[in-house]
Amino acid sequence: MIFEVDAAQISRLDSVKLVQLMKRLLLAECQMVDIPLRGVAVPVQITVPDGGEDGRAEWAGGTASTNYLPSRLSIFQSKAQNITERSVQAEIFAKSGRGRKQRVKPKLNDAISEALSRGGSYIIFCSYPFTGQKIKKLRKSIESAIAQTGAVPSQLAKIDVYDANKIADWVNTHPAVALWVTSSERRRSASGFQPHEGWGRSPEIAMVPWVGNDARRFIPAGRVVSDGEPKFQRHEGWTFGEAAEATRKHLSEDRAILRIVGPSGFGKSRFIYELFNGQDAIADHIDATAVIYSLLPIVGDEVAKLALEVSDAAWPAIFVVDDCPDDMHSTLAEITQRAGSRLRLLTVDVETKMQQVEGTLVISLAPAPDELIGNIVKGVAPNLDDADVRFINELANGFPRMAVLAAQRGGERRDAILSIDQVLDRIIWGRRPHNEEAQKALEILSLFDWLGLSGRVKEQAAYVAREFAGMGEDTFIEAIKSFRPRGIIVQRGDFVQVQPIPLAARLAAQRLLLLPDGKLGAFFKEASRELRMSVLRRMRWLDTSPAAQAAAP
């Protein structure tokens, strides 16, 4: 495995990280054998008196044990320090019996007492490496301490010491946990792969508060929403809560596949991140500790190699692959569905041709409503006034990412428009090869607010193609339509428009710089009133562009 963990890495964990690791391992182990995750308890306040217990796994029914959980009640004591036979005995006794010299029979701590009464197991979880002989001596010491209280050690199902070597072996049976250890130590991703926690440090997540909303903008495959349908009529989509519930139910089974699609900047990746974020997101069989996130342009073919290794080893893991085109999705889906696989797959992209695929839930995102955009703006920049919020709302055109960029610029008109430069190429082309003719058609369309493309107004597109673009009508229309899957061409009836506004404004400004002298003036003399008014409506977003000012009729 490309991020395999060794005992030395375990030894470098401090007491906090060691307890966090214990929790991840317990959750992962339970998930592997379908033990409900609610049976895992690991308090995060490690300085609170623990009664001899730092974590536990307990369950009823199903398997009686696993390779690392010896019984249906397994209690763990964490130690990020070297332990001796004497110190481990002290851990067994209740505090009232520790360190006293009077001849009083010591009492067991609460954890050992419970484990004895229920036939459970007691395990020391220590970050130091030990020899086999030392581990045997430590076990004997624990047994001796129990016997001193008058209890019978054999009533325990198991007494054991998991040292750094055994913990490393355990970690390596759970790839997502191994990734977390490696990433935590290096404070960076391992070969481009990140655990859920590391993914959450990306600026798009860490610096932008999550804003919930009841907008029905999550559209499952089979429900088609037309571009011209008003936002308030999108009643057949799911709210975030409904989409999250449906998604978690779908992912509760091994080999489940989820595909999320929508224009760049619509919040696809954030939706998936929030599925696993927080206690409310933990279902009985799904947990953030199983997530392995990657961005395909960074990891490339390594994601398929790792997926194959994880699938064939029957390790439970949740792969989230961002910026993943259909061909790679198909490859990963085949790997996910191999016999014996415990893998679950979530992929994200701008567009897909996959709509009805067995075992795959496809969800597309619709534009965000004004209320959600406004709440996002307020979350990013609480000091903006209502006028600024309304301006950004109009600017964003339902693109949450555009709202965030504009809000981070303080709502200032020029900076808000220019903020699109950060993501311009990604929104337009993504992985597609650049096409100068198509780019020209898009830039020319951006000069218009709305342009007639078909039906009773199709002559508008024909005129613009002929007189403004210098290309054939069919070529112009095909070029425009080629951008529809990218989510940046909106059609309402017979008219089309480039969205969001910052994108259209920047593209229009670029085209104005390239227009021959007098071209725009000649257009205003010859074009129909409808076309002239459409250009003027677009120009109001170009008042900060020197090219627009110079070209103004």
Segment 259-278 shows an average pLDDT of 89
Q: What percentage of the chain exceeds 70 in pLDDT? A: 88
Whether the per-residue pLDDT at 227 is higher than 60: the answer is no
Q: Which range has the worst mean pLDDT, 113-127, 181-195, 289-303?
A: 181-195
- Contacts with 172 (C-beta within 8 Å, 6 or more apart), sequence order: 1, 4, 5, 178
Mean pLDDT, range 380-386, rounded to an integer: 89
Number of C-beta neighbours around residue 403 at 10 A: 31
| pLDDT for the residue 286 | 62
Per-residue pLDDT for 99 more than 90? no
* pLDDT tens per residue across span 26-81: 988 988 888 877 778 877 554 445 577 899 999 998 899 999 999 999 999 999 99
Range name among 156-165, 239-248, 323-332 with the lowest pLDDT average: 239-248
Starting at the earlier edge strand, list the strands of the sheet with 121-126: 40-41, 55-58, 73-79, 121-126, 158-162
Q: What is the pLDDT of residue 233?
A: 41
Backbone angles phi, psi at 433, to 5 degrees: -70, 140
How many Cβ atoms from other residues are within 10 Å of residue 294's Cβ? 25
pTM comes to: 0.77
pLDDT at 456 (0 to 100): 92
Instruction: Evaluate whether 188-365 and 425-551 have a shared fold.
Output: no
**What's the sign of the alpha-carbon dihedral 464, 469, 473, 479?**
negative
Mean pLDDT of 183-203: 80
> pLDDT class for 230, splitting at 50, 70, 90?
very low
Which pLDDT score, from 0 to 100, does residue 188 have?
53
User: Would you say residue 100 has pLDDT above 60?
Assistant: no
User: How high does pLDDT run on average in the chain?
Assistant: 86
Looking only at the bridges linking them, the beta strands covering 73-79 and 55-58 are: antiparallel
Q: At what angle do helices 302-312 and 175-186 cross, to 10 degrees?
A: 130
What is the predicted pLDDT for the residue at 148?
92
- At 2-20, the pLDDT tens digits run 788 999 999 999 999 999 9
For CA atoms 25, 27, 31, 36, the dihedral sign is positive
Do the beta carbons of residue 13 and residue 80 sit within 8 Å?
A: yes
Query: Could you write out the DSSP letters of every residue in 442-494?
Result: HHHHHTSSSEE-SGGGHHHHHHIIIIII-S-HHHHHHHHHTTGGGT-EEEETT
Tell which CATH architecture fits domain 188-365: 3-Layer(aba) Sandwich (3.40)
Confidence class for position 312, pLDDT limits 50, 70, 90:
very high
By the 10 Å C-beta count (0-12 exposed, 13-18 middle, 19+ buried), 309 is classed as middle
At residue 213, does pLDDT exceed 90? no
Yes or no: say if 356 and 222 are a contact pair by the CB < 8 Å rule.
yes
In the numeric block, which tokens belong to residue 452? 């007639």
Reported confidence tier of residue 159, pLDDT bands at 50, 70, 90 = very high
Contacts of 353 (CB under 8 A, 6+ apart): 326
Strand partners, 161: 124
Buried b (16+ CB within 10 A) or exposed e, 173-207: bbbbbbbbbbbbbeeebbebbbbbbbbeebeebee
Return the HEC string of 387-419. Answer: HHHHHHHHHHCCCHHHHHHHHHCCCCHHHHHHH
DSSP assignment of 422-446 equals GTHHHHHTTTSPP-HHHHHHHHHHH
425-551 fold: Arc Repressor Mutant, subunit A (1.10.10)
Instruction: Provide mean pLDDT across the span 343-364.
Output: 89
Confidence check: pLDDT of 166 > 90: yes
Asked if residue 352 lies in contact with residue 336, where contact means CB atoms within 8 angstroms, the answer is: no
Q: What is the pLDDT of residues 401-457, one digit of tens each?
A: 888 888 888 767 666 666 666 667 878 887 788 899 999 999 999 999 999 999 999
Q: Where are the domains of the chain?
A: 7-173, 188-365, 370-422, 425-551
Q: Is pLDDT at 460 greater than 50 in this prediction? A: yes
Dist. CA 260–CA 354, nearest whole Å: 11
Nearest Cα neighbor of 288 from 198, 189, 172, 182 is 198
Residue 232's pLDDT is: 37
| Partners of 489 in beta bridges | 498
pLDDT exceeds cutoff 80 at 377: yes
